[in-house]
Amino acid sequence: MRTRSGKRTRDDSDNEEAGKCTNVLVHSDPLDAGARKSQAQRRVVPPKKKAKMSVPSQEVRAHCLSEMPLDIMFEIFALLHPKDLVSLCMAGKALLSTLRSDYAQSIWIKAREATRAPAPPEDLTELQWAALIFKTSCMSCKGRDVKTIDFMLRRRLCTKCKKLHLIPTKMFPRVFPELDPSITSLVYSTSAIASRHPHHPKQLYFWKSDIKKMAAKLEGIEAEIKANSGSSTKKSLEDFKKSRRETVQKVFNRNFAFRLTYDRWVASEASLARKEARSAVDKRCQILVQRFIQLGHSPLDIDLDRLKRRSDVQKNVELTDKVWARLRQNIEPVLRDARERRLEEENKVVRS
């Protein structure tokens, strides 16, 4: 037989269990009963983990290229612009070694001829020549958009680096007191340096690192002479100096003609680029005119010359649906205004 006290005991235990569950499932925020119930019953589903995309590292990509057969690699390289080939040389030692080999010379020549660029001078390789005329960064500080090339120094240099690393003839004894000034006849020099004084007399300037390298070269030859103590080694030093002076003089004599050839090529390429740009604009305008006529606009309302001068039409982008929608939104109001003016003029003629 059930007793009232037993029932009370079970009710108390049930209330205690319910209190425990409430403490576990409900936050301490003062929410109403319905909100507490829904929050207690809500199950938190963890977000799905995104699959990691395996991106090959630069070392892996370089390894894949190094494992590629040379004939296939050269077939790919033959399709590249000289500027892209230079960038490949900077990607790793393996690619640099491959593109500097004798087997790759035909690739450089073919790539250069495709751009109609002049052949390199005798003292520069195809790789050095491509880096000089196609890369537009400063060869000293890597600064961007350097327009001019100093052909006497065989470098593309910004004005800041010229002022930092070029020394005039009169400053040579102060900068290099330990060296014989005659070493300047063995390195390239230039007179093209920006000066704050426009009437400053021109003088020769030398690149510091060229002088240091030449000094190290001569020091190595002199060390060999001391080690061998033979007349043949002394003669080799004199022959080296004589050959080097002839090379420097040859570069100096041909500098003007070579610069003229380069400038003509640059001007020709710029003219060709402008011609191709005009042709692309003409083709794009023809397509636009056809589309506007299909929309019901009269050819009388389309000013072709004015259309060609629009900056949004001159952009060298593909005429996709998105581009067409933007052009239509910008040009169609102009055509409507032209139509209204034309009809107004026609009405005036009819009334008169």
Least confident of 2-16, 78-92, 223-237: 2-16
**Which of 238, 234, 258 shows the shortest CA–CA distance to 123?**
258
Where does CATH 1.20.1280 sit in the chain?
Answer: 62-135
104 contacts 77 by C-beta, under 8 angstroms? yes
Q: What is the pLDDT of residue 122?
A: 87
In this prediction the pTM is 0.68
Q: What are phi and psi of 204, to 5 degrees?
A: -80, 145
Select 62-135's CATH number: 3.30.160, 1.20.1280, 1.10.3470, 2.30.30.
1.20.1280
243 contacts 122 by C-beta, under 8 angstroms? no
CA distances from 150 to 146, 154, 243, 257 (A): 11, 6, 22, 14
Give mean pLDDT, residues 338-345. Answer: 92
Which residues, in sequence order, are bridge partners of residue 150? 155
156 contacts 139 by C-beta, under 8 angstroms? yes
Mean pLDDT of the residues in the chain: 82
Using one digit for the tens of pLDDT, what is the confidence trace for 37-66?
Answer: 455 455 555 566 555 555 455 555 555 666
- Residue 307 is encoded by which pair of tokens? 């259309």
